[in-house]
Structure 1
Amino acid sequence: MPLIYIVEDDENIREIQRFALKNSGFDVQEFSCGKSLRQALEHKIPGLILLDIMLPDGDGLEILSALRHNSATSQIPIIMVTAKSTELDKVKGLDLGADDYMTKPFGIMELISRVKALLRRTKSMEEVSVLTSGCIEVDTEKRIVTVKGEICQLTFKEFELLKMLLINQGIVLSRDKIMDQVWGFDYEGESRTVDMHIKTLRQKLGEEGSAIQTVRNVGYVMGR
């Protein structure tokens, strides 16, 4: 069963959500703030996120927007969970990319039903999970990269960088766009971080690494 992240600062509500989801067979990880969620996403991408709007370290809607603008997290199904019930709040959340919206208080059966329905809908809409370029093949579901049939071990960021380049083959990507999509809106590093990762990625891809071309004063492109 998919891993579900619960982002909720109210411990009692979080406990109820965890109990219900685990009883339904889901793996669950809990977070009380946006910072801990972002740290966890650096290591593992869940199958779905239950995201509260009112968090102690920020607005859940801002977190939602950031997740949708990061290629590593843009496709994660997200259900907003909030005490706000006005139509404007719901519309804003959905416009920012939420897949569903639940207002507290809600029933456990409704929660499980919505989670299962969203996961079914997401599975039916999944695109081709294998990306290729020359002798490079990337299985985005299993997170496996092969070059000429041999496994190529990449770090999390190297994988996300390669995936972004493959998805946008033939399109020049600026360093700023790569930084935003792969490292996220709150990353404070310099653009040379991208250059360093491109360098190591090329090395690991061997001869196929030459497919990643530098566009002077702009950024990078996979093939042209």
Structure 2
Amino acid sequence: MADTCRDTVVLLEKNLTRVMRLKKHPVPENADEKKKHTRTLQDAERSLAQARLSARRLALRHVEKSQIVTTDALSENESELLQPEGPPFHLCAFCHAWHCLNGYAAAQGVMVWLPDLHPASVVALNARALKEIFSDERKRVRQGRAVLNALVQNRLAVEEKFRTWRPADFADALRRWPPAQRQMLREKMDGVALILLPDSFPDKKYVM
């Protein structure tokens, strides 16, 4: 995995350097040369977009590939996830919260009932909604809140089935059950998902 991360970073930097160099190059006045320059630049930009997509999918490998389609520059957090010297079991903030239901981030969230969605899809939707909410554009904020509210509404089904939607209560239940019987509880919880809220992230960089 470390070698793959290094190779991906090298390829990304190589493509970025190529695009920057071509953009700095004066545009030829000759029509044929200008057309050739434009075509070369477009090819380089497509290669950069593909390199960014591959890098983002590697950094966010816990999310289904089909959910990751953006080709803009990687965020600081995404770049950190690509560093091979990072912790070997490093998790993104969302996955860490799922594994630590009694932690701070999870405590600000809610458990919801989404049996038809893969956990990776839930994480992707939750992350996208919060990114929109944390943006500076009113339209995006409204859209993000609409998605988040739709997800959170599914807590009622969890409360009806388990008499609680608080993540800490589920953490306590898992801790109380003997290790040999936890699989049975996990099977009962199949379809339950954690949704994090804006208060789960005092530092927006873990979402952006």
TM-score, normalisation: structure 1: 0.30
Higher strand share: 1
Higher helix share: 2
Structure with higher RCO (Cα < 8 A, 6+ apart):
2
TM-score, normalisation: structure 2: 0.32
